[in-house]
């Protein structure tokens, strides 16, 4: 239940803190005194959008804070699903900064507006006259029926199954699209894969081929270079090898005289060995060079094929071509796997659809069972509210498609008087009748729901005194199971409350503010008397007010 509401710098309110009690609370005041401001402040707490027009002093921030006692309402799971810390005394705070930025906090942790709105629906139901339009909404009508049928768990199972089914249908469509795309591209991908396969590419092959091509394509020039190199090394008269031998022999003769000379000898000896090895390698390379036009042609063809593939696939190396070949093969394999996946999913979806139909059928059966009970309860309450001949028909037809709450289409038909044909509620019920019907529905829902608080905002507009008295009785009865607040202009309803607040405006130094006070017994008598007779309170009005309070 709502226990505390604190408002600072909002509309006509500078600073206000209200301590609410349980059961039935009345709020009265002249038109324009600020009753709607209280609802506006609560609306912000419940996640409505805010703007700078809400600020009384534009240079200061607006802060609205509400305390809720929620120990008895089993809301831990809801808090967990919203990732909000649960507290038995939950505090919701909303701040509007002069910049226009809005912030919201639950138990001092920041939250976004969607989370706040979801939490708000579990804490307070604010019912105003315009909300009677909800009665024309088929979804709301089914929600009423579901509350009486007490099928929350069954409905949750259906919605869970429906979510899984929709997810599966979405996956099936995605795979079917993927399969269609794969079929369109399959031949082309197969061609590309086969083309790369036929090329018989090997990692590092390109570098070897390019080297061999350069040697074979320049064989005479290479031979000439190798021959000249061999001659310079091995010529008997001026060859490097002959000179190195002479140096080695000279150093060998003096090596015995010093370690330094021995080191020089060892080094020249190593050089001689390396030169001999180089000479042998040059000789072998020269002998291995054979002019082979056919081999050169084959190497050139392979290189041209590699270059063409690289250009086609916009890569630089054989390694990248091999990666593309692997990817193409995987894509072709995955495409063939899609057939199997689609077949399995279609079988699963057929089973899920059957399960959904079974759950939806159970929902339909439970709803039809609940119709007579709901009709009886509505008629009993509406008879109290001056509509003794009101009658309802709930026409349930099974839809061909899955809806968010089952497979039921509902038409709520209404007749206010005997002998009058039934018609759609939204077309045949007057505004006053809709108000009374909505109150009756709220009273019925209070028996089945675990909602902490409901606020009625002038639901009694246009209602006569006797009917207002009955409406007050119904709200009083509702307050035995939940906290009920009623903003009213009717003394018959005001007299039913357990607690009575008055909203009024004061003006000081050209500044108007709204205030709210809890009335004591004497003040309450005068307030109800004023509601009966106007500003000039008569003795008879005071007496009548006392009678209403003692009733």
Q: pTM above the 0.75 mark? A: no
Say what the pLDDT of residue 296 is.
Answer: 80
Place of tokens 């119904």: 474
Q: How far apart are CA 158 and CA 405, in angstroms?
A: 8
Rg (CA), the chain: 46
User: Closest Cα partner for 309 from 185, 207, 199?
Assistant: 199
Backbone phi, psi, residue 502, to 5°: -120, 135
Place of tokens 């005289």: 257
Burial class (CB in 10 A: 0-12, 13-18, 19+), 41: buried
End-to-end CA distance of the chain: 27
Q: How far apart are CA 437 and CA 375, in angstroms?
A: 12
User: Closest Cα partner for 23 from 496, 410, 443?
Assistant: 496
Q: How far apart are CA 442 and CA 471, in angstroms?
A: 12
3-state secondary structure of 132: helix
Backbone phi, psi, residue 479, to 5°: -70, -10
User: Closest Cα partner for 399 from 462, 356, 370, 448?
Assistant: 356
Count CB-CB contacts under 10 A for residue 520. Answer: 9
Q: How far apart are CA 135 and CA 211, in angstroms?
A: 87
Distance of CA 157 to the CA centre of its chain: 21
Q: What would the pLDDT profile of 205-221 be if each residue is shown by its tens digit? A: 888 888 878 777 777 78
Domain 1-123+452-518 has CATH 3.40.50.300: yes
Partners of 13 in the β-ladder: 10
Say what the pLDDT of residue 335 is.
Answer: 61
Place of tokens 């024309």: 136
Count CB-CB contacts under 10 A for residue 454. Answer: 22
Say what the pLDDT of residue 339 is.
Answer: 82
List of residues 6+ apart from 29 with CB closer than 8 A: 35, 502, 503, 504
Q: How far apart are CA 32 and CA 494, in angstroms?
A: 18
Query: Hey, what are 52's tokens?
Result: 């700078």
Say what the pLDDT of residue 253 is.
Answer: 87
Helix, strand, coil percent content, the chain, rounded in steps of 5? 60, 20, 20
Count CB-CB contacts under 10 A for residue 112. Answer: 10
Say what the pLDDT of residue 526 is.
Answer: 94
3-state secondary structure of 273: helix
Strands 499-508 and 24-28: parallel
Q: How far apart are CA 188 and CA 395, in angstroms?
A: 58
The tens place of each residue's pLDDT in the chain, 551 residues long, gives 999 999 998 888 888 899 988 899 999 988 777 788 888 899 999 988 887 777 888 888 999 999 999 998 889 999 999 999 999 999 999 998 888 888 999 999 999 999 999 999 899 988 876 666 677 788 888 989 999 999 999 999 999 999 999 999 999 999 888 888 777 777 677 788 788 888 888 888 888 888 878 777 777 787 778 878 887 887 766 678 888 888 888 888 888 888 988 999 899 889 888 888 888 888 888 777 767 778 788 888 888 888 888 898 898 888 898 898 888 878 777 666 788 889 999 999 999 999 999 999 999 999 999 999 999 999 999 998 889 999 999 999 999 999 999 999 998 899 988 888 899 887 888 877 888 888 899 899 888 888 899 999 888 776 777 888 999 999 999 998 899 999 998 999 999 999 999 998 888 777 888 888 999 999 999 999 999 888 888 899 999 999 999 87
Measured CA to CA in angstroms, residue 267 lies from 234, 251, 262 at distances of 20, 10, 9
H/E element holding 171? helix 152-198
Q: How far apart are CA 111 and CA 45, in angstroms?
A: 12
- H-type alpha helices, 419-464: 425-428, 431-448
Q: How far apart are CA 12 and CA 19, in angstroms?
A: 19
CA atoms within 13 A on the CB side of 127: 27
Q: How far apart are CA 300 and CA 539, in angstroms?
A: 121
Burial class (CB in 10 A: 0-12, 13-18, 19+), 400: exposed
Distance of CA 210 to the CA centre of its chain: 58
| Structural domain spans, the chain | 1-123+452-518, 180-336, 521-551
Burial class (CB in 10 A: 0-12, 13-18, 19+), 59: exposed
Q: How far apart are CA 394 and CA 309, in angstroms?
A: 72
User: Are the beta carbons of 124 and 453 closer than 8 angstroms?
Assistant: yes
């Amino acid at each position: 239940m709502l226990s505390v509401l604190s408002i600072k710098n909002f509309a006509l309110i500078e600073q206000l803190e209200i301590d609410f009690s349980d059961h039935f609370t009345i709020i009265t005041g002249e038109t324009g005194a600020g009753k709607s401001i209280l609802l506006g402040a609560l609306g912000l707490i419940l996640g409505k959008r805010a703007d700078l027009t809400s600020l009384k002093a534009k240079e200061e921030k607006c802060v609205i804070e509400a305390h809720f006692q929620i120990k008895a309402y089993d809301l831990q799971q809801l808090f967990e699903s919203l990732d909000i810390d649960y507290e038995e005394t939950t505090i919701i705070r909303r701040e509007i900064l002069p910049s226009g930025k809005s912030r919201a906090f639950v138990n001092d942790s920041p939250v976004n507006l969607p989370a706040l709105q979801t939490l708000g629906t579990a804490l307070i139901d604010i019912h105003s006259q315009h909300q009677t339009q909800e009665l024309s909404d088929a979804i709301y009508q089914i929600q009423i029926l579901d509350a009486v049928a007490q099928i929350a768990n069954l409905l949750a199972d259906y919605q869970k199954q429906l979510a899984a089914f929709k997810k599966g249908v979405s996956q099936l469509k995605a795979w079917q699209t993927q399969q269609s795309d794969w079929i369109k591209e399959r031949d082309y991908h197969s061609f590309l894969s086969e083309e790369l396969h036929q090329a018989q590419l090997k990692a590092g092959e390109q570098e070897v081929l390019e080297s061999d091509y350069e040697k074979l394509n320049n064989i005479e020039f290479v031979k000439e270079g190798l021959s000249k190199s061999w001659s310079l090394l091995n010529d008997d008269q001026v060859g490097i090898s002959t000179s190195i031998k002479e140096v080695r022999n000279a150093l060998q003769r003096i090596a015995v005289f010093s370690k330094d000379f021995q080191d020089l000898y060892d080094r020249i000896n190593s050089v001689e060995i390396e030169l001999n090895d180089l000479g042998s390698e040059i000789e072998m390379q020269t002998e291995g060079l054979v002019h082979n036009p056919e081999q050169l042609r084959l190497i050139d063809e392979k290189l041209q094929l590699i270059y063409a593939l690289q250009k086609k696939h916009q890569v630089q190396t054989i390694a990248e071509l091999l990666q593309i070949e692997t990817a193409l093969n995987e894509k072709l394999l995955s495409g063939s796997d899609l057939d199997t996946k689609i077949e399995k999913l279609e079988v699963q979806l057929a089973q899920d659809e059957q399960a959904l139909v079974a759950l939806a059928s159970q929902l339909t059966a439970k709803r039809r069972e609940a119709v007579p009970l709901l009709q009886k309860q509505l008629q009993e309450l509406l008879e109290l509210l001056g509509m003794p001949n009101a009658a309802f028909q709930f026409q349930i037809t099974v839809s061909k498609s899955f809806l968010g709450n089952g497979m039921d289409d509902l038409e709520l038909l209404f007749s206010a008087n005997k002998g009058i044909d039934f018609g759609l509620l939204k077309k045949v019920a007057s505004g006053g009748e809709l108000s009374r019907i909505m109150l009756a529905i709220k009273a019925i829902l209070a028996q089945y729901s675990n909602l902490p608080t409901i606020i009625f905002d002038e639901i009694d507009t246009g209602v006569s005194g006797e009917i207002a008295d009955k409406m007050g009785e119904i709200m009083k009865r509702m307050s035995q199971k939940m906290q009920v607040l009623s903003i009213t202009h009717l003394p018959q309803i005001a007299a039913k409350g357990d607690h009575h607040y008055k909203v009024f405006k004061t003006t000081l130094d050209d500044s108007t503010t709204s205030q709210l006070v809890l009335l004591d017994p004497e003040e309450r008598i005068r307030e109800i008397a004023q509601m009966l007779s106007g500003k000039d309170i008569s003795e008879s009005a005071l007496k009548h007010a006392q009678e209403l309070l003692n009733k």
